[in-house]
Amino acid sequence: MSIKAVHLSKSFGEPAIKVLHDLSFEIQAGDFVALTGRSGSGKSTLLYLLGALDFPTSGHVEMGGHDLSAVSERELHRIRNQNVGFVFQFHYLLPELSALENVLTPVRKAVDFGVDVSSFETRGRELLVRFGLEGKEGRLPRHLSGGEQQRVAIARALVMKPKYLFADEPTGALDSANGEVVIRLFEETNSVDGTTVIMVTHDTGFAARARRQIRLVDGRIAEDIVNSAPSGV
Amino acid sequence: MLFLAIRHLVSRKKQTTLTLLGIVFGAAAFVAISGFMLGFQYFLLDQLINNDAHIRISAREDRVDSVVASGDLYGKSGSSSVVWVVEPSGTRTSPKIENPRGWDEVLSKDPRVEAYSPQFSTQVLFLSGVVSATGRMIGSEPDAQRKVTNIENYIKTGRFLDLAAGGNRIIVGTGLLKKLGAGDGSTVFVSTGRTQTPFKVIGTFETGNRQLDESTVFASLSDTQRLSGNQNEINNIAVRLFDFNRAREIARDWQSMAVDRVESWDEINASFLNVFQIQDATRYLMIGIILLVAGFGIYNILNVVVSQKKREIAILRSIGYEQGDILRLFFFQGLILGIVGSALGLVMGYIACLGLEQIKFGGGPMGGGAAMKVSFDKMIYIRAFVFGSMSAALASVLPARSAGKLTPIDIIRSGAE
């Protein structure tokens, strides 16, 4: 279930400004990849294209062998719901819902796709316990710390047991201790569940803990290296 | 999405309450204004339908001009050589129904007719001592008359059926009796212009319609015919139908085969009914404005909420929620506000109507000291509920659509906070 970028380009605006230039590469299932580069290098844009949130100007993305530009809209939503988990720099939790209810938001939608969700509430609770949030399931996001909020967001991204976890600077709004906790959770998810993790980060230390690093410069791959001894994996 | 829509509303207590109040007041105003206006209309309609004939057949009024007058006076051949110094003009009121027996046959056999009452009514002068008052004497067969109208309900003293025996006896409106300074049992003189005939007051009636009570007396048909010198003639037939809604159609049927004038109750009271239509238009306009304002409130608030909730919309879209889901999330909020607000508005409107019903007012066509007539017709409540809910739902469509169109990446890229 690899992800393949095939001649991927992306432009914005009129006149068009090209942000990504003809990128082709493959990420193997179960890999842990860090996308790095300076601000404006196109790493977040690439992440959203790989994660089926955005569409390329040219080229295409293959997820598990399926060309994302050729699937129906309904199928695209199903992929976002069941195959992909997203973690953003900000937690984007729904403030009206408790921690557990936030975690279970994708599960509510999965019912529409005919998924048997009977076991997912238990999984949601287990994830919160695993992420050190036991006893805080009923709390509203505003009653949680920044680190706790981000852990709830990660639990939400993982509740449907997605094949791919995409993270856009997940530690960017956290202090180093909480950042460390988040990266550990990613490492654990990758190693225990076999989830493919693709993470955009500015932090060289966290990037070094990925199995593979793709560094972008001005929308082109400047470096694509496999970390010989990723510190956390 | 209903679950999330409810959570959204509950989390914005102040906004939700204020928006809700707009709908509540809109629906309550609909119920109260409609209840009051329709109550009054129904009361008047009841008076029009049940206190008078559904169809009235009366002697025809013909226009008189030089051609008609020449023909009548000099025959067809001579009329062409007539030169008028003063052109004749005006109307000629035929004093009688042309073929009462024919009408009797038609009405007695028509299955749509519940009852009918031949009448002779005439303008008279009432005299009691030195006091005089003009008015109208209605001569009828009491047993037939009571089947056609509700007159028996308004009898204050005496018995309406006692008129049947004849003998120059009358039942007088309380207002007229008061005007004449006469009392029950006294004798009143009635004049048609030539002679004065004594009539004994054997009872009184009070309909609440001041105009009627101050000018009308009932007598037997034969007494009235004798008084006016028109023996065996009638100038009116009051008809009651089983279904008053068919009055106009039946009146047209009969008019097509008769020379007499045949009018249904709604034609006779067309001016009243026009006023009702104007009232209805005013009512809908007022309520429309109230609901429009409430709808705009919802529209504005939901627009603000959509722009405040962009981050949440982005995350929902990124976890598989579709355009339709986001549309429903905000549409449901409008709908819930509409349904709950309308339901509360119905309760508030109902209570307001109960309060209105307690208000007494004096004078007017309904007499003094009557309670306000308020309608509790279930259609008012159904309409208020539907209009309230629909206005709220419609007001939420545009914000909901704009929310649905947001794509996750656009929101994320715009850095919505």
Give B211's pLDDT tier (boundaries 50, 70, 90): confident
B224, two tokens? 């009235």
pLDDT single digits (tens) B97-133: 888 888 999 999 999 999 999 999 889 999 998 899 9
- Given B259, B291, B310, which residue is the final one in a domain? B259
Distance (Å) from the alpha carbon of A48 to chain B's nearest alpha carbon:
8
B85, two tokens? 């110094």
- Given B197, B226, B259, which residue is the final one in a domain? B259
Total of domains in chain B: 2
pLDDT single digits (tens) B291-340: 788 888 888 888 888 888 888 888 888 888 988 898 898 899 889 989 99
The fraction of chain B above a pLDDT of 70, given in percent, is: 95
pLDDT single digits (tens) A161-182: 899 999 988 888 778 888 888 8
Is B113 within a domain?
A: yes
Order across the sheet with A220-226: list the strands. A84-87, A164-168, A196-200, A32-37, A212-217, A220-226
What are chain A's domains? 3-94+162-226 (3.40.50.300)
CA distances from B348 to A164, A184, B13, B337, B381 (A): 55, 59, 21, 16, 11
Give A230's pLDDT tier (boundaries 50, 70, 90): low
A97–B4 C-beta distance less than 8 A = yes
Is B83 within a domain?
A: no
What's the pLDDT at B205? Answer: 92
Distance (Å) from the alpha carbon of B308 to chain A's nearest alpha carbon:
12
Q: Which residues of A79-103 are buried (b: 16+ CB within 10 A; e: fewer)?
A: bbbbbbbbbbbbbbbbebbbbbbbb
Give the C-alpha separation, B348 to B345, whole Å. Answer: 5
**pLDDT higher for B68 or B202?**
B202
Task: Provide the residue count of chain B.
Answer: 417
- pTM given for the model: 0.70
Instruction: Tell me the chain A residues in contact with residue B7 when contact means C-beta distances shorter than 8 Å.
Output: 94, 96-97
- Tell me: do B37 and B126 sit in the same domain: no
Tell me which residue in A77, A94, A108 faces B322 most closely, judged by beta carbons. Answer: A77
Is B367 within a domain?
A: yes
Tell me which residue in A74, A78, A92 faces B312 most closely, judged by beta carbons. Answer: A92
Indicate the average pLDDT of chain B.
85
B172 strand-pairing partners: B204, B217
Average pLDDT, stretch B346-357? Answer: 92
- Tell me: do B246 and B285 sit in the same domain: no
* Phi then psi dihedrals of residue A16, to 5 deg: -65, 135
Is B81 within a domain?
A: no
Q: What is the ipTM of this complex?
A: 0.86
Q: Within a 13 Å sphere around the CA of B314, how many CA atoms are in the beta-carbon half?
A: 25
* Phi then psi dihedrals of residue B120, to 5 deg: -130, 115
- Given B212, B231, B259, which residue is the final one in a domain? B259
- Tell me: do B123 and B249 sit in the same domain: yes
The answer to whether B10 contacts chain A (CB < 8 Å) is: yes
With vertex at residue B331, the alpha carbon angle to CA A77 and CA B327, rounded to the nearest 5 degrees, is: 20
Is B68 within a domain?
A: yes
Distance (Å) from the alpha carbon of A84 to chain B's nearest alpha carbon:
8
What's the pLDDT at B393? Answer: 86
With vertex at residue B353, the alpha carbon angle to CA B347 and CA B356, rounded to the nearest 5 degrees, is: 145
What's the pLDDT at A213? Answer: 92
**Contacts with A, B 198-237, CB within 8 Å:** none
CB atoms within 10 A of CB B371: 12
- Its domain, for residue B339, covers 2-48+272-414
B7–A97 C-beta distance less than 8 A = yes
H-type alpha helices, B208-269 = 210-213, 221-228, 247-255, 265-268
Is B264 within a domain?
A: no
The residue in chain B having the minimum alpha-carbon distance to the alpha carbon of residue A140 is B11
Q: DSSP state, B59?
A: P
- Tell me: do B246 and B219 sit in the same domain: yes
